[in-house]
Amino acid sequence: MKFRNLVSVVGLLLAAGGCIPKKSAATGEQQAAAAPTDVSGLVAHNLLKNSTFEDGTSLPWMTSFSAPASGEAMVQNGAYCLRIDGAGTNPWDAQVRHREMVIQKGHSYTVSFKAWADKPTKVRPKVGQSGPPYSEYWSENLELSTAPQQFTGTFTMYEPDDGTAELAFHMGGGMVTGGTPLTVCIDDVILADPQFTPTPGQQEAPPPDVLVNQVGYLPGLQKLATVKDASTAPLTWEVLDAEGKPVASGQSSVFGQDAPSGDHVHVVDFSSLTQPGKGYTLKVGDKVSYPFDVGEDVYQQMKYDALWYFYHNRSGTPIAMPYAGEQQWARPAGHLSDSKVACAPNTGCSYTLDVSGGWYDAGDHGKYVVNGGISTWTLLNWHERTKHLGTSAADYADGKLRIPENKNGVPDLLDEARWNVEFLLKMQVPDGQPKAGMAHHKIHDESWTALGMAPHESKMTRYLRPPSTAATLNLAAVGAQCARIWKAIDAKFSARCLTAAEKAWQAAKANPNVLAPASDSQGGGPYDDKDVSDDFYWAAAELFTTTGKGEYKDFVLKSPSHAKIVTHTGEGANSMNWANTAALGKITLAVVPNQLGGDQVKLLRGQIQSAGDAYVKLIDENGYRVPMKGDAEGKYPWGSNSFVLNNLLVLGLSHDFGKDPKYLNAMQAGMSYLLGRNPLGQSYVTGYGERPLENPHHRFWSKQANSKYPEAPPGVISGGPNSSIQDPYAKAAGLKGCAPQKCFVDHIEAWSVNEITINWNAPFAWVTGYLDEKAAVKTPAVTGTKPGGQKAAKK
Are the C-beta atoms of residues 153 and 110 closer than 8 Å to each other? yes
Give the chain's count of helices (H) and strands (E).
Answer: 14, 31
Q: In this model, does residue 5 exceed pLDDT 80?
A: no
User: How many CB atoms sit inside 10 A of residue 548's CB?
Assistant: 12
Q: What was the pLDDT predicted at 673?
A: 98
Is 656 in the active site?
no
How far is it, in rounded angstroms, from Cα 168 to Cα 453? 20
- Catalytic-labelled residue, pool 361, 746, 749, 772: 746
> H or E stretch including 165?
strand 165-170
Is 364 in the active site?
yes
Is 187 in the active site?
no
| Residues in contact with 392: Cβ distance below 8 Å, sequence separation at least 6, in sequence order | 386, 769, 772, 773
Task: Show the CA angle centred on residue 724, arms to residues 722 and 725, nearest 5°.
Answer: 75
Q: In this model, does residue 198 exceed pLDDT 60?
A: yes
Q: In this model, does residue 354 exceed pLDDT 70?
A: yes
Is 50 in a helix, a strand, or coil? Answer: coil
Cα dist. 61→79, 100, 333, 620 in Å? 12, 10, 34, 40
Q: In this model, does residue 398 exceed pLDDT 60?
A: yes
Q: What are phi and psi of 414, to 5 degrees?
A: -70, -35
Taking residues 545-574, report their average pLDDT: 86
Cα dist. 275→331, 780, 793 in Å? 43, 16, 12
Longest dimension (CA), the chain: 88
Is 771 in a helix, a strand, or coil? Answer: helix
> H or E stretch including 661?
helix 661-674
Q: At what angle do helices 758-773 and 369-388 cross, to 10 degrees?
A: 10
Are the C-beta atoms of residues 382 and 765 closer than 8 Å to each other? yes
| Residues in contact with 664: Cβ distance below 8 Å, sequence separation at least 6, in sequence order | 221, 651, 652, 655, 774, 777, 779
CATH of domain 210-296+787-792: 2.60.40.10
pLDDT digits (tens, 9 = 90+) for 253-291: 999 999 999 999 999 999 999 999 999 999 999 999 999
Are the C-beta atoms of residues 474 and 439 closer than 8 Å to each other? yes
Q: What are phi and psi of 80, to 5 degrees?
A: -100, 120
- Place 570 in a pLDDT band, splitting at 50, 70 and 90: low
Yes or no: domain 302-773 corresponds to CATH 1.10.8.60 = no
User: What sign has the CA pseudo-torsion 146, 152, 158, 163?
Assistant: positive
Yes or no: domain 4-192 corresponds to CATH 2.60.260.20 = no
- Place 18 in a pLDDT band, splitting at 50, 70 and 90: very low
DSSP-assigned letters across all residues of 416-470: HHHHHHHHHHHTBPPTTSTTTT-EE-EEEESSPPPSS--GGG----EEEPPEEHH
Domain residue ranges in the chain: 4-192, 210-296+787-792, 302-773
How far is it, in rounded angstroms, from Cα 223 to Cα 295? 12
Which of residues 444 and 8 earns the better pLDDT score? 444
List 494's β-bridge partners, or say none. none
Q: What was the pLDDT predicted at 787?
A: 44
- Place 577 in a pLDDT band, splitting at 50, 70 and 90: very high
Q: What is the CA radius of gyration of the chain?
A: 28
Taking residues 443-461, report their average pLDDT: 93
Task: Show the CA angle centred on residue 641, arms to residues 635 and 647, nearest 5°.
Answer: 95
Q: What was the pLDDT predicted at 734?
A: 85
Is 571 in the active site?
no
Window from 14-18, 289-293, 312-316 with minimum mean pLDDT: 14-18
- Catalytic-labelled residue, pool 697, 698, 711, 773: 697
| Residues in contact with 265: Cβ distance below 8 Å, sequence separation at least 6, in sequence order | 226, 227, 228, 229, 255, 256, 258, 623, 624
| Residues in contact with 60: Cβ distance below 8 Å, sequence separation at least 6, in sequence order | 49, 50, 98, 99, 100, 729, 732, 749
Q: In this model, does residue 458 exceed pLDDT 70?
A: yes
Task: Return the exposure string of 477-506: e unless at least 16 CB atoms fall within 10 Å of the residue's CB, then b.
Answer: bbbbbbbbbbeeebeebbebbbebbbbbbe
The amino acid sitting at 795 is K
Q: In this model, does residue 191 exceed pLDDT 50?
A: yes
pLDDT digits (tens, 9 = 90+) for 459-511: 999 999 999 999 999 999 999 999 999 999 999 999 999 999 999 999 999 99
Window from 374-378, 430-434, 562-566 with minimum mean pLDDT: 562-566
Question: Does 302-773 match 4-192 at the fold level?
Answer: no
Window from 427-431, 566-570, 615-619 with minimum mean pLDDT: 566-570
Q: What was the pLDDT predicted at 565?
A: 79
| pTM for this entry | 0.90
Q: What was the pLDDT predicted at 781?
A: 52
Of 260, 250, 45, the closest CA to residue 787 belongs to: 250
Task: Return the exposure string of 15-25: e unless at least 16 CB atoms fall within 10 Å of the residue's CB, then b.
Answer: ebbebbebbbb
> H or E stretch including 72?
strand 70-76
Q: What was the pLDDT predicted at 501?
A: 98
Q: What was the pLDDT predicted at 571?
A: 55
Taking residues 54-68, report their average pLDDT: 91
List 84's β-bridge partners, or say none. 71, 182
List 240's β-bridge partners, or say none. 246, 281
Q: What was the pLDDT predicted at 234?
A: 97
Q: Chain-wide mean pLDDT for the chain? A: 91
- Catalytic-labelled residue, pool 166, 656, 755, 773: 755
Of 259, 235, 237, 255, the closest CA to residue 247 belongs to: 237
Q: What are phi and psi of 58, to 5 degrees?
A: -120, -15
DSSP-assigned letters across all residues of 486-517: STTT-HHHHHHHHHHHHHHHHHHHHSTT-PPP
pLDDT digits (tens, 9 = 90+) for 740-756: 999 999 999 999 999 99
- Catalytic-labelled residue, pool 263, 338, 364, 727: 364
How far is it, in rounded angstroms, from Cα 313 to Cα 334? 10
Q: What was the pLDDT predicted at 6?
A: 29
How far is it, in rounded angstroms, from Cα 23 to Cα 330? 53
Q: What was the pLDDT predicted at 297?
A: 97
How far is it, in rounded angstroms, from Cα 430 to Cα 352? 10
Which of residues 781 and 536 earns the better pLDDT score? 536
Q: What was the pLDDT predicted at 529?
A: 94
Q: What was the pLDDT predicted at 180?
A: 93
Q: In this model, does residue 435 exceed pLDDT 60?
A: yes
| 63 DSSP assignment | E
- Place 221 in a pLDDT band, splitting at 50, 70 and 90: very high
Q: In this model, does residue 390 exceed pLDDT 80?
A: yes
pLDDT digits (tens, 9 = 90+) for 502-549: 999 999 999 999 999 999 999 999 999 999 999 999 999 999 999 999
Query: What's the 3-state SS for 83-108?
Result: EEEECCCCHHHEEEEECCCCECCCCE
